[in-house]
Structure 1
Amino acid sequence: MEVISSNLNEAIDILKSIINKAAFVALDGEFTGINSDESRAFDMFESPAQRYQKISKIVQNFLMIQCGLCVFVPNEDKKSFTAFPFSFYIFPQDDNSGPNKNGFSCQISSIKFLSQHKFNFNKVFNDGMPYLNSIVEAECRMKIEEKMKSMWEKEDEKYNRAKENKYPYQLSFKIADSDQQFVKDMIQLIDEWLSDNSKKILQFPSCSGYHRKIIYELLYARCTDKNMLPETVREESGIYILAKKLDEKEKAQAAEEKFKTQLSKLDDAVGFCKVIDILRKANVPVVGHNMLHDILHLVHQFIAPLPNDYYEFKEIVNTAFPNLYDTKLMATTEPIKTYFADSSLAAAEKRSQKEPFQNVSIEFCKEIDCKDFHEHYHDAGYDAYICGTVFARMLYYYDTLTEDENGCCNLQSEVLQPFNGKIKMHRMLDIPYLNLSGDDVRPSREHVFVMRFKEPWPLSKIADYFSAFGGAKPMPVPMDETSFYIILLNEKESVNVSNKLVGEFQDFTLQKFESDRLEKTSSAAKRKADSIVNSPTGQIPAKKEKSESTVQRFSQNLQNGETI
């Protein structure tokens, strides 16, 4: 089902009716970009926290413009599923709020890739649904409430200012000769309306913003008894001012109606975040394929701005989605790693149709339109469906390993639990995943060294240099043309290399990996200290009071039952 602003409520009703029956929900996203200069700085030996810092900067530059969700509901036999796929087109509608209020970037290759796969950008830009996460929504709600409380006070201020205006016709600015007749016509129109008690409403002709300013000031200057409320109306035919005469009771009713209208507009602006709220409240397992960018975008756009602190990010994800599974990680981990030479989504789907996997029966639901929903890779809804299909087949396989009798949707299986909360990491040599539900992997790197050259060496010469120690694999350090990581093939030789080769030589310097990292950290700290000492004041900047963290605000919203 393709979902845009006009049929979002219909999709929400369907989602609410099925979400609590779901075994799991598969997720996929399409973005305006996925790489930047930060990507080129990825280091295969950095920590998960360091990698998060780089990827979070990338994510904050781009947008998720389509989110695919596919709800998998088990049938009565518990060995087949009914799939409910949704493709949500998403685009921010307000430049003044939300995490992307200052704009977003597009990566040329990403846009061309989507275009080549017939992605409908017109639906995104013209019909895409807006979104406001719970934090921004709460801020907007507070502003509306404050504005409504002081509504009539501000109206009184406008009347009082009109009395003080020094230019002709009690205006706050001088009128050009070409506008004199317009002003006289408007004064006549206003005075006739005010003198006719049978007319409660006056609609002015459509005009420019400059002329509307003149009309507003004339209204406040001529209506001395303060019984009038003007508003600007925007229609396809033009923009005009509508003025109404109100008594005290009608003023109160007008304020209440305006308040309700503002809240209704805010509710519409929340948009896609209502879908995420339903997903979060259902506490249903969420499945993705290579889903790190998906999760970061989901958090940043629809839950809360990505925090600087990695552990705060983990807490937000665990609060919102405590059960995450990554089929990319599963396909590259024993016991099924040997069956997936290619772990891309399309390849994984084809391979999972063969032995030892069971081709689980999955049929599309009859409640929504799925007639065009076939073989359309890189539509987020279709990719989510394929991801969920692969996961269902993997579930069946794991059930056969444990001789589970609960059918093919037992997510409590002991062999499946190690994957819960873990997301595949790329370009990391010895940390295969981010562990969002616990402590990250901390591998030993005693066999890793850093070699820095005064003049470049060929790779063959570097490898030969360590041949007496069982050989080594040299790998370039990112963003550093004169340095290589030296990974010993025989880890037991690390002590010998430390004793015999570590140090500064004529052509190079060799350090243990941990010593090199410690030295870099110390250098960074020294540079920061030098900048303080050499500052104009020579003083350490005063420490800012710690503000309420994003996760505290988000967790409080969850406890209060507020929407995301």
Structure 2
Amino acid sequence: MEVTRKNFSSVLPEVEKAINEADFLSVDTEFSGLHASNSFHISPLDTPEERYHKLRKGSSDFLVFQVGLCTFCYDKENSTYEAKPFNFYVFPKPYSRAAPDCRFLCQSSSIDFLASQGFDFNKVFKEGIPYLTSMQESELRDFLEERHKQYTQFSSPAFVTPDSGAEAVTTKGPIEIPEEHKEFIEGICNNIQEFLDKEGEESLSLPSCNGFVRKLIYQTVRQRFQSRVHLGAKTNEKKQRLIVVTRIKSEDEMKKKELEKQSTELAELEDAVGFSKVIRLISQSGKLVVGHNMFMDLVHLLHRFCSKLPENYQEFKAMAKCVFPKILDTKLMANTTPCKELLPSSVLGDLLKHIYSPPFKKPEVVIPENFPRYDIDDSNLHEAAYDAYITGICFTGMSSFLGGLQKPPLSYVPPDAPIVKPFTNKLFLMRVADVPYLDLEGDDVLPSRDHVFHITFPKEWKASDLYQLFSPFGNINITWLDDISAYVSLYKRDQSSTVMSTLCKRDARYKILTYELFKNGFKDKESRKRSHAPESTEEEPKKKKPLNVDAPVFVSRSRSVTPPMPEENGNKAEEEKMAADSTSEQQPNEQKMFEVPAW
């Protein structure tokens, strides 16, 4: 079901009912961009904390254009799921001059991609549902309450323009009317007097003018006409601010008119909260929220519709767990034994096709009549509601497959089943081979990276120079950071202990640090920068948590390969791609496979 600003209020009760009746929910989002700059590209050697900080930067710079929500309710009698997909167009349109005026970036590649998929940008900008975070709503509500108190002080010498926004200034006593505005203000007063002298029309719209002149009008009209008229503000179709004059017959009518106006303003604020209400309903339900490769979706949903993302990584975990108590990433399920061995690809569109084929069993899903019917093909991909819909199908398909492996087999696997819990509140980390997942409930698994070294070198160096430098230690992976630095990973881990002693004093043109020393030095530098503390000359590396072999670790789907030695004239862009691909491959027996236990 397509939901825009025009039908959001009428559809919201149906959304609430669907959420409350659902067994689980699935979500997806579409953005205005992914990476704010080249320096924030994701790396195969990112830790979960580093990846969070990179995605946090993107969520601050880019907007969510579309949010898909699909609710799934299991019908035990017919052994089918009822799915209700909602496709929300969202845009932070400021509802008043006091509301936040959001600035954002667009990434041309992302916009081009969405356009190629038939995305309707006009619908986003013209009909997108507004939204406010809880903090923004609270600040605007306080502002309105304070302004409403000022409105009722008609006998006070203070003069406040009701449409002056958050930066309204209360002045004691009337403002002296400049000579150039006297004729215009006098003409306005004459028009109002003529309006009052004639019977019939109940209101009069004054010509549009700037904020200062509007303030002069409010001041002069209240002085001259006292309680005979009520002044209000409105915005016309061309976004021009107008003053509307309404005749008043008594003090009681004036109070009633003012209360109506205040009610209207509060209702407008309630409408401006917009799509954030849907996120609050999802949060309050406590239902399992399913997404595919959903780390980025999660940070955008939290930042845009809940609260500004914290700088502290642990605070982010606590925030995510508070807003969405239970989440599940189908990308992680697809890359975990035993599903991993049976699924050639975990890309969402490909995953759906494999779920419809043996040994998986196609889930029976029905969609009510008032919702769109989706053809299961690639034509609907990247519409947020459709992606959320097929994400939910993939979850039910893989859950059902795992249930069939139990003794006795489970005909239905509920979202809170023990067999699902190992995947709950863990997020897949894209292109990171040795960190299985980000754990929202506990400490992350941090493997040893003693075989990784940070090197800085002259700008003219190419991949071939690094291969030649490290040739005594066997084949390597190169992860480019910029034109003068990179990570080098050894395939032969047993050679790691001799690298520093062999290479450190060979050539002054380059500098090599162990991965741990470089990371701890970088963290210390950032910490000193934030605290403005003097820089220490000693760097004391911290001990990282070793890989827990008893933890439910996930294994990458590729086999170990030995990369070919590049030619002397290889360029960095090609080598960067090769490094990213080869780093995502894992040597056999390096991690313990996660086997799904039987209950």
TM interval, shorter chain, is 0.7 to 0.9
TM-score by length of 2: 0.78
User: What are the ranges of 5 or more consecutive residues in structure 2 without an aligned counterpart?
Assistant: 161-170, 536-599
The aligned residue for residue 422 of structure 1 is 426
Structure 2 counterpart of 1:71, one-letter code:
T
Greater mean alpha carbon deviation, residues 399-408 or residues 95-104: 95-104
Which residues of 2 match residues 409-558 of structure 1 at below 5 A?
A: 409-453=413-457, 459=463, 462-463=466-467, 469=473, 471-479=474-482, 481-497=483-499, 500-501=501-502, 503-506=504-507, 508-522=510-524
Q: Distance in 1 between matches of 2:203 and 2:533?
A: 63
Q: 1:336 aligns with which of 335, 339, 362?
A: 339
Structure 2 counterpart of 1:410, one-letter code:
P
Contact 1:190 1:222 in 2 (8 A): no
Contact 1:286 1:321 in 2 (8 A): yes
Compared with structure 1, are the counterparts of its residues 415 and 98 closer, same or farther at alpha carbon in structure 2 (3 Å cutoff)?
farther
Contact 2:374 2:386 in 1 (8 A): no
Contact 2:481 2:487 in 1 (8 A): no
Q: Distance in 2 between matches of 1:529 and 1:185?
A: 61
* Superposed displacement of residue 218, structure 1: 3.5
User: What are the ranges of 5 or more consecutive residues in structure 1 without an aligned counterpart?
Assistant: 167-171, 534-564
Compared with structure 1, are the counterparts of its residues 453 and 4 closer, same or farther at alpha carbon in structure 2 (3 Å cutoff)?
closer
* Superposed displacement of residue 135, structure 1: 1.7
Structure 2 counterpart of 1:254, one-letter code:
K
Structure 2 counterpart of 1:53, one-letter code:
H
Structure 1 counterpart of 2:434, one-letter code:
D
> CA offsets, 1:336-389, max 9 Å, x none?
112222221111111111122111111112243447897411111111111111
* Superposed displacement of residue 296, structure 1: 1.0
The aligned residue for residue 230 of structure 2 is 229
Compared with structure 1, are the counterparts of its residues 96 and 495 closer, same or farther at alpha carbon in structure 2 (3 Å cutoff)?
farther
* Superposed displacement of residue 154, structure 1: 6.5
More helix, by proportion:
1
Structure having greater relative contact order (Cα 8 Å, sep ≥ 6): 1
> CA offsets, 1:168-198, max 9 Å, x none?
xxxx12136xx84x6555444444566x6x9
* Superposed displacement of residue 405, structure 1: 5.5
Compared with structure 1, are the counterparts of its residues 287 and 98 closer, same or farther at alpha carbon in structure 2 (3 Å cutoff)?
farther
> CA offsets, 1:88-128, max 9 Å, x none?
01111107789973411111111111111111112111111
Compared with structure 1, are the counterparts of its residues 150 and 188 closer, same or farther at alpha carbon in structure 2 (3 Å cutoff)?
closer
* Superposed displacement of residue 245, structure 1: 2.6
Greater mean alpha carbon deviation, residues 332-341 or residues 210-219: 210-219
> What RMSD in Å do the two structures reach over aligned CA positions?
3.3
The aligned residue for residue 137 of structure 2 is 137
* Superposed displacement of residue 449, structure 1: 2.4
Q: Secondary structure at the match of 1:232?
A: strand
Q: Distance in 1 between matches of 2:132 and 2:376?
A: 29
Greater mean alpha carbon deviation, residues 254-263 or residues 84-93: 254-263
* Superposed displacement of residue 443, structure 1: 0.9
Contact 2:202 2:246 in 1 (8 A): yes
1:349 aligns with 2:352: yes
Q: Secondary structure at the match of 1:109?
A: helix
* Superposed displacement of residue 163, structure 1: 7.3
The aligned residue for residue 397 of structure 1 is 401
Contact 2:332 2:427 in 1 (8 A): yes
Q: Distance in 2 between matches of 1:38 and 1:525?
A: 23
Structure 2 counterpart of 1:287, one-letter code:
V
Q: Distance in 2 between matches of 1:488 and 1:420?
A: 34
The aligned residue for residue 45 of structure 1 is 45
User: Could you tell me the percent identity over the aligned residues?
Assistant: 31
Contact 2:425 2:441 in 1 (8 A): yes
Structure 1 counterpart of 2:494, one-letter code:
K
TM-score by length of 1: 0.82
Which residues of 2 match residues 309-320 of structure 1 at below 5 A?
A: 309-320=312-323
Q: Distance in 1 between matches of 2:519 and 2:96?
A: 42
* Superposed displacement of residue 8, structure 1: 1.3
Compared with structure 1, are the counterparts of its residues 301 and 419 closer, same or farther at alpha carbon in structure 2 (3 Å cutoff)?
same
1:108 aligns with 2:113: no
Which residues of 2 match residues 249-260 of structure 1 at below 5 A?
A: 249-260=252-263
The aligned residue for residue 180 of structure 2 is 175
Contact 2:26 2:69 in 1 (8 A): yes
Compared with structure 1, are the counterparts of its residues 146 and 283 closer, same or farther at alpha carbon in structure 2 (3 Å cutoff)?
same
> CA offsets, 1:375-421, max 9 Å, x none?
41111111111111111101101111224665333233434222111
Q: Distance in 1 between matches of 2:175 and 2:520?
A: 68
Q: Secondary structure at the match of 2:153?
A: helix
Structure 2 counterpart of 1:328, one-letter code:
K
Q: Secondary structure at the match of 2:30?
A: strand
